[in-house]
């Protein structure tokens, strides 16, 4: 494969555009909604420490591999895996890796979009002052009310997906890149405002010790596994989202350097989000440990309701959360969209609408799982719980495992060495060792544990 080959879908206009887009993919509901309640549930700083370790020793090497494979293949993950397999004389079945990713993408997007819809719904709700002075019960009733309404959930889910399809239909440079160029700086600015607000509040000191002074007695074995799953989810790994973004990256750009910046920015933003969320909770004496998935919608809104200028800052918070979700969702539908353009010769617009429509239909199931279909359960999981479990706990680790095996064992050394272009031989050898031995074992352990835990 000629060096310098370009993707038919276009290319990022610069290395920074790629970094912003990949960071936009990484930073999402996972950093703010999911991270906050997981930190809350698993005891704070000790969990964060383990999570950081997972990012560094599993997330970073896997991300390098995904970017490398995408950039080498220059197509959607399905066709990239097929063409790489052909190039090196491996089995064509490796294209299944791309298919697992596409399926995982549909499942993730279907529930991601419903939660993205909650976030959108909370912008006008907070702005209207609905939470000002309201007590925790009233705020929780508002959330329950939203969940009880199939019409409202489907409406906001539709709006969220429409935004996502709109961006993706406009292409790599005119859509994805343009969106992240506007949304990412806005997101960072809003986040800094929110952290400033948190610092000025009375809960700041308590938050700092909650987030940074580890108490390992709160750690359980399960917390380690949850931390590893969260590391995959937050870095958008295991389904080809980062691979497809890598396929639009110039071959002159450094893979390890870019990976470090993206993973660093994602981690910094998760920690800053913690410094924005927890002070509001502690300032008004709310407990993050009990909150669960309702943490940012119920507990945090109740917090804002009792703070000075809470309606304004609460609204800004949900604008921030919506932006973060939006720049992630576009990366979830990009692999399937690119595939349809390549193999069906569809225009991007038609492909994006088709993928969006399929995810929309599946998402209806998640929306209804809070009301009409609440009683339909498999192994104690509602429809949305099942989507989240199958995609995050099963398919992402499975995808990560196959990526590690392919990059570490199947791909010839000369190719990975040339594509990664580490400055030093030692760094390359460390990457290779980690990909061949550590990542497959660590990931296989979470996979088995996750399955046994839920199905056993």
The reply to whether 331 sits near ligand TRP by the rule CB under 6 A is yes
- Closest distance to ligand TRP from the beta carbon of 335 (Å): 9
Site of tokens 């700041």: 204
- Closest distance to ligand TRP from the beta carbon of 331 (Å): 5
Residue 293 near residue 33 (C-beta atoms within 8 A): yes
Q: How many residues interact with ligand TRP (rule CB under 6 A)?
A: 17
Rounded (10°) angle between helices 178-200 and 15-26: 60
Beta-carbon contacts of residue 5 (< 8 Å; ≥ 6 apart): 74, 251
The reply to whether 239 sits near ligand TRP by the rule CB under 6 A is yes
Q: List the x/- string, 21-60, binding to ligand TRP by CB under 6 A.
A: ----xx-xxxx-----------------------------
Which structure tokens are listed for 208?
Answer: 């700092």
Q: List the x/- string, 167-206, binding to ligand TRP by CB under 6 A.
A: ----------------------------------------
- Closest distance to ligand TRP from the beta carbon of 117 (Å): 14
| Half-sphere exposure of residue 217: CA atoms within 13 angstroms, side-chain side | 0
The reply to whether 119 sits near ligand TRP by the rule CB under 6 A is no
Residue 125 vs 241, nearer CB to ligand TRP: 241
Taking the CA atoms of residue 223, residue 226, residue 227 and residue 228 in that order, the dihedral angle to the nearest 10 degrees is: 130
Short-list 112, 80, 116, CA closest to 96: 80
Cα-only R_g, the chain: 21
In the list 108, 147, 184, 352, the residue contacting ligand TRP (rule: CB under 6 A) is: 108
Residue 47 vs 233, nearer CB to ligand TRP: 233
- Closest distance to ligand TRP from the beta carbon of 154 (Å): 22
Short-list 32, 387, 444, CA closest to 225: 444
Query: Where is 334: in which H helix or E strand?
Result: helix 310-344
The reply to whether 236 sits near ligand TRP by the rule CB under 6 A is yes
Helices assigned H by DSSP within 150-254: 150-169, 178-200, 204-212, 221-234, 241-246
Segment 385 to 414, residues that bind ligand TRP, using CB under 6 A? 396
- Closest distance to ligand TRP from the beta carbon of 379 (Å): 22
In angstroms, rounded to a whole number, what is the distance separating the alpha carbons of residues 272 and 320?
13
Residue 240 vs 305, nearer CB to ligand TRP: 240
Residue 119 vs 301, nearer CB to ligand TRP: 119
Instruction: Give the binding site for ligand TRP (CB under 6 A).
Output: 25-26, 28-31, 108, 233-234, 236, 238-239, 241, 328, 331-332, 396
């Amino acid at each position: 494969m000629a060096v310098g080959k370009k993707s038919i879908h276009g290319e990022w206009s610069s290395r920074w555009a790629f970094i912003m887009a990949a960071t936009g993919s990484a930073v999402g509901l996972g950093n703010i909604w999911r991270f906050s309640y997981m930190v809350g549930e698993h005891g704070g700083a000790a969990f964060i420490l383990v999570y950081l370790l997972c990012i560094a020793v599993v997330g970073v090497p896997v991300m390098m591999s995904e970017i490398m494979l995408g950039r080498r293949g220059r197509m959607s993950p399905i066709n990239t895996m097929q063409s790489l397999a052909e190039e090196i004389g491996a089995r064509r079945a490796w294209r299944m890796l791309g298919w697992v990713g596409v399926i995982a993408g549909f499942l993730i997007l279907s529930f991601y979009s419903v939660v993205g819809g909650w976030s959108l719904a909370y912008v006008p709700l907070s702005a209207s002052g609905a939470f000002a002075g309201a007590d925790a019960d009233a705020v929780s009733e508002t959330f329950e009310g939203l969940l009880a309404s199939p019409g409202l959930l489907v409406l906001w889910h539709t709006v969220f997906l429409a935004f996502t399809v709109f961006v993706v239909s406009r292409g790599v440079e005119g859509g994805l890149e343009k969106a992240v160029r506007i949304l990412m700086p806005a997101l960072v600015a809003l986040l800094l405002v929110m952290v400033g607000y948190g610092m000025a509040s009375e809960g700041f000191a308590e938050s700092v010790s909650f987030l940074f002074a580890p108490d390992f007695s709160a750690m359980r074995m399960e917390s380690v596994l949850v931390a590893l799953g969260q590391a995959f989810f937050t870095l958008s790994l295991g389904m080809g989202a980062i691979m497809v973004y890598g396929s639009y990256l110039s071959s002159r750009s450094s893979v390890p350097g870019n990976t470090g910046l993206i993973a660093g920015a994602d981690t910094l933003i998760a920690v800053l989000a913690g410094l924005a969320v927890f002070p509001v909770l502690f300032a008004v004496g709310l407990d993050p440990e009990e909150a669960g998935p309702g943490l940012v919608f119920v507990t945090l809104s109740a917090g804002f309701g009792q703070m000075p200028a809470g309606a304004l800052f609460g609204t800004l918070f949900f604008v921030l959360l919506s932006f973060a979700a939006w720049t992630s969702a576009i990366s979830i539908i990009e692999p399937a969209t690119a595939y349809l353009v390549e193999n069906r010769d569809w225009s991007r617009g038609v492909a994006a609408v088709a993928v969006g429509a399929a995810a929309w239909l599946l998402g209806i199931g998640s929306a209804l799982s809070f009301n009409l279909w609440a009683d339909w359960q498999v192994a104690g999981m509602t429809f949305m719980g099942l989507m989240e479990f199958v995609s995050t706990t099963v398919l992402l680790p499975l995808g990560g495992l196959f990526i590690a095996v392919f990059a570490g064992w199947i791909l010839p050394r000369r190719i990975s060495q040339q594509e990664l272009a580490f400055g030093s031989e030692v760094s390359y050898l460390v990457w290779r060792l980690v990909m061949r031995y550590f990542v497959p074992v660590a990931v296989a352990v979470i996979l088995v544990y996750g399955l046994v835990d839920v199905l056993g």
